A and B are shown apart, each in its own frame.
Chain A
């Protein structure tokens, strides 16, 4: 179908355009435009509809992608630290992605206990994971 359209335009260029000074040539040009215009408009309309849909789509990276890397191959290598000053959402996301074991226990704490763990993390100058682990243990008791 696509190649048919291309063939058609080639045909237009080769035959119709040189005849455009004549009445029959102009008529052929008009008819050819009328014939192809609907499909071209429909195609443009379709692509526009797709783009509109895509604009409404949210990023769909799943938690499973960035997190449950519990497989040996996906574990972060080298010294990984939380770093200070993360928002609560960022803190939990980092914990989940880089310190899954700690996250498992953190996620089982009550909401109050989790808030206290986060507070302890915020109060620590370097935002180290050791502080968080200790906080999890303390607030779990």
Chain B
């Protein structure tokens, strides 16, 4: 009899209220919601206290130079963030449409699982020729505006900081770009640092770039929610 009542009550409670997590995101948050490919995903930590990392992200050693430990900062002026700031980003700029979370890894990594809310732009896209249509589309997706036929006089003023010149180049107007938070496989991965450096080379403002150095490695370590993309394009 006890079990019958308990099961019924349990089902009812689960379907009508939020489950209180024992393993919280941080002191103030059990979980958070993020939109991922049109779905609402709950980002939270695995609640099994005995859960351990196994497989790919449990590996300690990979050959350097390909997989060297990365420095804390990806580039001068680019802020390095931790999981807490990623949560804040998800609930703030990302939710408001003012920020973009970017999985910078090659597609073969992305397709095996990503951080919810991320779009996929591999670092190789940012390293393409500046006129490459794929790069142009990626920059426009981030809010950059292509410029054509800017007069040399205008550029002269912009170069000394007038007319919002700080955020403009010969070919691009970055003054309205979204804040991008870029990540890859973790502290041993240089895909997002390369993507960041390539963006900076294009003139993308450093103060609109955030670098999540922990990446998928730390995301996995904390048992945080990951999703497998439902399509190749996100």
Interface residues of chain B: helix, strand, loop or mixed (majority):
mixed
Residue B46 lies at the interface, judged by CB distance under 8 Å to chain A: yes
Residue B225 lies at the interface, judged by CB distance under 8 Å to chain A: yes
Q: Report the count of interface residues on A (CB-CB < 8 A).
A: 42
Contact A54 B42 (CB under 8 A): no
Contact A54 B41 (CB under 8 A): no
Contact A64 B40 (CB under 8 A): no
Bound-state CA distance A134–B146 (Å) is 64
- CB of A82 to closest CB in B, whole Å: 14
Q: CB-defined interface of A61-93 with B at 8 Å, one 1/0 digit per residue?
A: 111110011111111000000000000000000
Chain B residues 58-85 with CB under 8 Å of chain A are: 62-63, 66-67
Q: Which residues of A contact B57 (CB under 8 A)?
A: 60
Residue A111 lies at the interface, judged by CB distance under 8 Å to chain B: no
Q: Which residues of B contact A70 (CB under 8 A)?
A: 14, 18-19, 42
Pick from A3, A61, A100: contact of B113, CB below 8 A. Answer: A61
Contact A57 B31 (CB under 8 A): no
Q: CB-defined interface of A34-55 with B at 8 Å, one 1/0 digit per residue?
A: 0000000000011101110111
- CB of B154 to closest CB in A, whole Å: 22
Pick from B15, B106, B112, B127: contact of A2, CB below 8 A. Answer: B127
Residue A59 lies at the interface, judged by CB distance under 8 Å to chain B: yes
Contact B10 A62 (CB under 8 A): no
Contact B113 A60 (CB under 8 A): yes
Q: Which residues of B contact A54 (CB under 8 A)?
A: 105-106, 108-109, 112
Chain B residues 200-223 with CB under 8 Å of chain A are: 201, 216, 220, 223
Known: A46-B66, A60-B57. A68 touches B106 (CB 8 A): no
Residue B152 lies at the interface, judged by CB distance under 8 Å to chain A: no
Contact A105 B18 (CB under 8 A): no
Bound-state CA distance A136–B31 (Å) is 29
Contact A136 B228 (CB under 8 A): no
Contact B228 A59 (CB under 8 A): yes
Pick from B33, B55, B225: contact of A64, CB below 8 A. Answer: B225
- CB of A43 to closest CB in B, whole Å: 9
Contact B11 A62 (CB under 8 A): no
Q: Which residues of A contact B227 (CB under 8 A)?
A: 61, 65
Q: Which residues of A contact B12 (CB under 8 A)?
A: 101
Contact A73 B11 (CB under 8 A): no
Contact A63 B46 (CB under 8 A): yes
Contact A65 B112 (CB under 8 A): no
Q: Which residues of A contact B6 (CB under 8 A)?
A: 105
Residue B192 lies at the interface, judged by CB distance under 8 Å to chain A: no
Q: Which residues of A contact B201 (CB under 8 A)?
A: 1-3
> Which A residues contact B (CB, under 8 angstroms)?
1-3, 6, 45-47, 49-51, 53-65, 68-75, 99-102, 104-105, 133, 136-137, 140-141
User: Lowest 6 CB-CB distances: which A-B pairs, in order?
Assistant: A70-B19, A60-B113, A101-B11, A54-B108, A101-B14, A64-B225
> Which B residues contact A (CB, under 8 angstroms)?
3-4, 6-7, 10-19, 31, 33, 40-48, 55-57, 62-63, 66-67, 105-106, 108-109, 112-113, 116, 124, 127-130, 191, 197-198, 201, 216, 220, 223-228
Interface CB pairs A-B, < 8 A, 5: A62-B223, A63-B46, A64-B42, A65-B226, A73-B40
